[in-house]
Amino acid sequence: MGMKKFFSFVFVFFTIGYASAQDDLLNQLNAEKSEVKDKETTAFKGLQICNIQSTKMTAKGEWYMVISHRFGDLTEGLDNFFGLDNALTKIGGIYGVTDWLSLGASRHTYNKIYELTAKYKLADQITNGFPVTIVGYNTMDINTALSTDLYPNLQFNNRLAYSTQLLASRKFSEGLSFEIGGVYVHKNLYDDSQELKDQYLVAAGGRCKLSKRLSVNLDYAYKINQLENAPLYQNPLTLGLDIETGGHVFQMVFSNSQPMNDVAVFTNATGKWNGGSLYFGFNMYRVF
């Protein structure tokens, strides 16, 4: 074999080998790409469904400002100007420590409560993989309205109440999402004629998208254990409308619970949808 033929043979050999290697590399990359599990986009646009927390998380480094109002009893009509005379207010902030953890604090006019919160993601819904998003949520209330005039032996510990929630949601489509969760509420000071010190609830909620920027939401919680013949406090049921306006989500809600701290929402709803008190209000989240 002459040198010319030899170099021609080497050139063809390496050209074929290089092309084959390229094909193998592309096949490998395509195979790896097909094995990547994509996270499903968030099931809810708001951090709350209506009153109950959703599985949506703040992103790392994001600040959310929260302003919420619940006006007085709508059924009183002009006597309280359809609730405008008796509003409760919540104002607070939430910070995304990481993509899976956020911390928050808020002040409520109801019982002058300070509410501290922690929200943490435990699992993501994966397209063609893990079926749900799982989030934990904890709150601690500090009731500063309690007075030693009424409770001479009052201690700081008596001002505290807690809630623990485990929430699981699934986004079924772009227009439909559903969530279910377990809730535990503990109060250090409580009315033993109307409620228990430790209460357990099953909560559920959903979102149905109406248009690009509108969705109708519903959430409800059922008390598993409650005192018999103590009808003052009801299971909370809330209907809402989400309006996306670019920088924030605005939620209008109708509920049988006027207080907005989680402990009170779950255990101290006094209104009734079938002929009782109802409360109109809104939640507004502004992200920075």
- For 156-184, what is each residue's pLDDT tens digit? 999 999 999 999 999 999 999 999 999 99
Residue 56 lies in a domain: no
Within-domain flag for 29: no
Burial (CB count within 10 angstroms: exposed 0-12, middle 13-18, buried 19+), residue 129: exposed
CA distances from 7 to 2, 10, 11 (A): 9, 5, 6
The answer as to whether 157 is a domain residue is yes
33 CB-contact burial (10 Å; exposed 0-12 / middle 13-18 / buried 19+): exposed
pLDDT of residue 20: 43
Residue 50 lies in a domain: no
Position 11 in a domain: no
Percent of the chain with pLDDT over 70: 87
Task: Classify residue 72: in a domain, yes or no.
Answer: yes
pLDDT in tens, 45-79: 999 999 999 999 999 999 999 999 999 888 887 77
User: What pLDDT shows up at residue 229?
Assistant: 79
When pLDDT is averaged across residues 180-208 and rounded to a whole number, the result is: 95
Number of structural domains found in the chain: 1
The CATH number assigned to the domain holding 117 equals 2.40.160.40
- Extract the tokens encoding 1: 């074999």
Domain that holds residue 276: 63-287
- Is 244 a domain residue? yes
For the ranges 189-198, 206-215, 223-232, 248-257, the lowest mean pLDDT is seen at: 223-232
Predicted confidence band of residue 187 (pLDDT cuts 50, 70, 90): very high
What is the per-residue pLDDT for 288?
A: 84
Evaluate whether residue 13 is within a structural domain. no
Stated pTM of the model? 0.83
